Structure 1
């Protein structure tokens, strides 16, 4: 992949003096700082540009004044950040890259994270409150589901990842309604650091205005997943009422929280939030169990599973499959029927379904707004034991500061393949079209050798940055079927 030069539109370019090129070349930092929420311990946060993908990212700097202590634990810091890069979920702000900078008197860890341009949940709720609008119940359900999906993923890792600083300042929202949890790195990193390096990111009850997001047991007992559930309950309450009034005080009082709870008119919503805010941590439900609560039920599980199955296998179908299929549907035909004893069956016809809503629903599923976490039969793979890696693993993880390398981050949504005999009739000429999720096309050609296998070709495309690692098995299976089709048809 070739790096893209960005110019014009106020985004900066390589010739723009307000941009600074990172040691990795791919990331260009702007000098103006950006507010990406409450990021504990991060001394500087800048807007930056990923010149390869052409998208904005966030450049974070974590400073360490004790250079000697930093050098002594440099391997451990690298190991932790290498493992943090593995945290990947559609509702978690992605950590793309990191590197260590020890050129100056004070050492720095610089890490690049995803930029969520629409701002924090706190900012959105303030704007909504200012316009005298009530929170939409459907949006509230979607947001709660996405936050819980991220927490369920984190808590299911081995060992469980505790966020520990979940507030409406560390939750972000994109323009399409997708929720992203930020600052996940903070608790992992601070717990993994030795005492002599922990001072830059001391865990503290950040600001008085956010004090109410922390449970009563915070700081008195060892953190568990119940800490995040209490914080989520406060976020869910704030989303429901738009703002918990502080009445001019520096922090939100118990009376203000009680008033907000009593203002909830939906009994299911009230019971859902109160279960998260139980004073006894043992009585708080898990994030996974909360995903099954009746108040969050919006899309039937069969419909959701079908949509995810369609999205996952869309690369096998023509791009306009839904549109072409709906054109051939008989609107008077029965699509579903529920038989009843001694009564006529209940029927739904295709004429009662809005196909425009179907397209919108599939787009929302593709964007991660309806996660499948709560219906998954298996739990997510655990991360390596970040907090206490065994000594032999720590020795293996001793690698130099990572050099830049190209990896494809976009997923494939459609694949097309064609094979033709070369002029000498001795070899096959393969043409592969990959349609990526940003609707950009990648066309590749290759002269097949008799020894080439579908698995080797797919692995090679991943190695050279033409394909996302997750798409490798799909492409291998697709190529295998194509080889069988063409080679089996030859005389």
Structure 2
């Protein structure tokens, strides 16, 4: 595993020829991973490209965060660093696998390479395949719960804090789902957490009260199941977070 402070250096001459020959836009500092210009996903601060692992001969997801963009975004930089460091320590069949990470100082970018999920997120997958049996949904649920159990079994437990179908990734040809996007994840403190974070539609009542533990993830899982079955976000009838909050605390 490469350290987070390792710097990128493509160089000239042979390095340029290597990029041109392989069709890469850039390579990592070891030369193991190459990035193509094909964009698989894009957020406010992060772009996910298709990449290739030459050592194993498999395609990967090359995640690139432009540091100048996240610095302007306040706590975003801290969130991305937190996700990378946490992923680096996790090894489980139900959690997205991190292969490498490094800082590209000249480009002012944080790069991290993860597994590639050919079918996107569970929300995207469910929208494409609207007719799914209850047995298939149960298999997805079992895998998600397996990943959650792994996170919660840590000492102290790890709380995902933003579990939703947008943050669960799918390899559709294998029926495989894994939990990802751990940018808001945190270790449980002794007295419970006191920070209200997450996606309103999936947040447990105690999260709004700013006093919660890993059981908040179990509530979010229930909302994920509701989304899988109905093909819609929970509380889709609400037009803003305030309305969602009122519905949640009134249950």
TM-score of the aligned structures, taking structure 2 as reference length: 0.70
* Matched residues, number: 215
Contact 1:34–1:47 (CA under 8 A) maintained in structure 2: yes
Give the match for residue 11 of structure 2: none
1:329-368 to 2 correspondences below 5 Å: none
Q: Give the superposition deviation at 1:154.
A: 0.2
Q: Give the superposition deviation at 1:116.
A: 0.7
Q: Give the superposition deviation at 1:16.
A: 4.4
Give the match for residue 21 of structure 2: 15
1:407-430 per-position Cα deviation (integer Å, ceiling 9, x unaligned):
xxxxxxxxxxxxxxxxxxxxxxxx
- In the alignment, the residues of structure 2 paired with residue 215 and residue 145 of structure 1 have an alpha-carbon distance, to the nearest angstrom, of 21
Establish whether residue 97 from structure 1 lines up as the match of residue 114 from structure 2: no
1:428-439 to 2 correspondences below 5 Å: none
Work out which of the two has the higher radius of gyration on C-alpha atoms and give 1 or 2.
Answer: 1
- 3-state DSSP of counterpart to 2:224: helix
Structure 1 residues 188 and 42: CA distance shift in structure 2, 3 A: farther
1:397-416 to 2 correspondences below 5 Å: none
Establish whether residue 32 from structure 1 lines up as the match of residue 38 from structure 2: yes
Structure 1 residues 204 and 244: CA distance shift in structure 2, 3 A: closer
Give the match for residue 240 of structure 1: 229
Q: Give the superposition deviation at 1:34.
A: 1.0
Establish whether residue 116 from structure 1 lines up as the match of residue 114 from structure 2: no
Q: Give the superposition deviation at 1:93.
A: 0.8
Q: CA RMSD in A?
A: 3.8
Correspondence for 1:43 among 38, 41, 46: 46
Q: Give the superposition deviation at 1:177.
A: 0.6
1:434-469 per-position Cα deviation (integer Å, ceiling 9, x unaligned):
xxxxxxxxxxxxxxxxxxxxxxxxxxxxxxxxxxxx
- In the alignment, the residues of structure 1 paired with residue 82 and residue 204 of structure 2 have an alpha-carbon distance, to the nearest angstrom, of 31
Q: Give the superposition deviation at 1:64.
A: 3.1
Contact 2:23–2:36 (CA under 8 A) maintained in structure 1: no
- Unaligned ranges ≥5, structure 2: 1-18, 72-79, 190-195
TM-score of the aligned structures, taking structure 1 as reference length: 0.38
Structure 1 residues 109 and 15: CA distance shift in structure 2, 3 A: same
Correspondence for 1:216 among 181, 200, 205: 205
- In the alignment, the residues of structure 2 paired with residue 34 and residue 188 of structure 1 have an alpha-carbon distance, to the nearest angstrom, of 27
Q: Give the superposition deviation at 1:59.
A: 1.1
Q: Give the superposition deviation at 1:120.
A: 1.2
1:19-45 per-position Cα deviation (integer Å, ceiling 9, x unaligned):
322222111111232128xx7x75222
Give the match for residue 160 of structure 1: 157
- In the alignment, the residues of structure 2 paired with residue 48 and residue 156 of structure 1 have an alpha-carbon distance, to the nearest angstrom, of 32
* Structure 1 runs, 4 residues or longer, greater than 6 Å off: 77-80, 277-280
Structure 1 residues 278 and 139: CA distance shift in structure 2, 3 A: farther
Give the match for residue 127 of structure 1: 128
Q: Give the superposition deviation at 1:228.
A: 1.0
- In the alignment, the residues of structure 2 paired with residue 236 and residue 59 of structure 1 have an alpha-carbon distance, to the nearest angstrom, of 29
Q: Give the superposition deviation at 1:53.
A: 1.1
Structure 1 residues 239 and 79: CA distance shift in structure 2, 3 A: closer
Q: Give the superposition deviation at 1:218.
A: 2.6
1:434-445 to 2 correspondences below 5 Å: none
Contact 2:51–2:59 (CA under 8 A) maintained in structure 1: yes
Establish whether residue 226 from structure 1 lines up as the match of residue 215 from structure 2: yes
- Unaligned ranges ≥5, structure 1: 1-12, 69-76, 192-202, 258-276, 281-491
Correspondence for 2:88 among 80, 85, 90: 85
- 3-state DSSP of counterpart to 2:60: strand
1:125-181 per-position Cα deviation (integer Å, ceiling 9, x unaligned):
21233xxx3x31211211111100100000111221111111111111212111111
Q: Give the superposition deviation at 1:54.
A: 1.4
- In the alignment, the residues of structure 1 paired with residue 237 and residue 82 of structure 2 have an alpha-carbon distance, to the nearest angstrom, of 46
1:41-85 per-position Cα deviation (integer Å, ceiling 9, x unaligned):
7522211111111111111123433999xxxxxxxx989856632
